[in-house]
Amino acid sequence: MNFPRSPLLALALLSFLGGGSLPAENPHHLKFVFQSAPYQYINVFGVHCAATNTVPRTKFRHMASVLAQYLDNDEDGVVDDPNIIAALTDPTRPPCLMALFKSEQEMDNVLNRYGNVIDQYRWQNLFANECHPQGSSMQNGFDATLEEVLHLVSQHGWANAYPAAFGEYSGTEIALAMDVARGGHFNWPPNNYPPGAWYHYDDPTCNYGCQVTEYFYWLVTSALGAQDYAGRGNEISNEWEPNTLALVRSTDLSGWALLTDPRFTFPLVLPDGNYR
């Protein structure tokens, strides 16, 4: 696969929204999954992005741009950490895919017909009604693009590039930091978290690895300022408390140490969906 190596080439790649035929490099023929209409497709640094034609093009571009900004945060046309993109595009593993659907019902319809195709990918879904190119606010809601795209990058990029640090299992550096944040080690969310815990994820279907994924998201996006707007702190306090950079630094010392560890290159600027 060809990775963009200049801002001009990266911009040209992001300007392509396929409709009709799929680039030959796509190994599993996404056109059959999204064949209800001319679907939308783009390859971002080797990661596949696709959407149905029912999704507004502005939202599809926003999703692709957020992905590009997480991977190339300084927007110089070159991925910031080659190890992350190598893990995301590892030819010995299934290819990675961000899939944008109009709604959960539309996704279910696609999976009912083509689940055997889409499941050949390491994929993450996003719905159009939770994708907000205009940004997050109490009026519009949180832009879930920042969350779902990061889930793909953390689960299949960070966790595989640096398994001892970011692997989604007990004993890794991020897992140990998460256990501190939760006030103990819990394979599944407990009925009640210990006093003093600031991360208290309570979805009973979320296993330990899932909880690491969510912790990575809360930690990184809070440090970048994504959770720091009027009313957001109260809205998410049942799950996550240190919603600002200052609170992450003063509360989650182990998590902050990871974010500032010179071994790693984390995003420094929150993606806004305007990749240049």
Return d(Cα 123, Cα 125) in angstroms, integer: 7
Number of domains in the chain: 2
Q: If pLDDT is split at 50, 70 and 90, which confidence band does 33 have?
A: low
Do 6 and 141 reside in the same domain of the chain? yes
> What is the span of the domain harbouring residue 194?
164-276
Residue 37 has pLDDT above 80, yes or no: no
Residue 129's pLDDT is 96
Q: Which of 161, 178, 212 is the last residue of a domain?
A: 161
Do 184 and 155 reside in the same domain of the chain? no
Torsion angle (degrees, nearest 10) of CA 103, 109, 110, 115: 120
Q: For 133, phi and psi rounded to 5 degrees?
A: -60, -25
Do 19 and 83 reside in the same domain of the chain? yes
Q: pLDDT tens, 191-216?
A: 999 999 999 999 999 999 999 999 99
Q: Which of 161, 196, 227 is the last residue of a domain?
A: 161
Do 20 and 79 reside in the same domain of the chain? yes
Do 153 and 33 reside in the same domain of the chain? yes
Do 85 and 169 reside in the same domain of the chain? no
Q: pLDDT tens, 216-237?
A: 999 999 999 999 999 999 999 9
Strands 47-51 and 40-44: antiparallel
Residue 114's pLDDT is 85
Q: pLDDT tens, 85-133?
A: 999 999 999 999 999 999 999 999 989 988 888 899 999 999 999 999 9
Do 122 and 90 reside in the same domain of the chain? yes
Residue 139, classified by CB atoms within 10 Å of its CB into exposed (0-12), middle (13-18) or buried (19+), is exposed
Average pLDDT of the residues in 263-275: 97
Do 60 and 125 reside in the same domain of the chain? yes
Do 151 and 227 reside in the same domain of the chain? no
The rounded mean pLDDT for the chain is 88
Tokens 């539309």 belong to 106
Residue 167 has pLDDT above 90, yes or no: yes
Do 150 and 238 reside in the same domain of the chain? no
Structure tokens at 37: 């209409």
Evaluate if pTM is beyond 0.85: yes
Return d(Cα 184, Cα 174) in angstroms, integer: 13
Do 121 and 211 reside in the same domain of the chain? no
Q: Which of 117, 141, 161 is the last residue of a domain?
A: 161
Average pLDDT of the residues in 171-189: 97
Do 115 and 89 reside in the same domain of the chain? yes
| 44 three-state secondary structure | strand
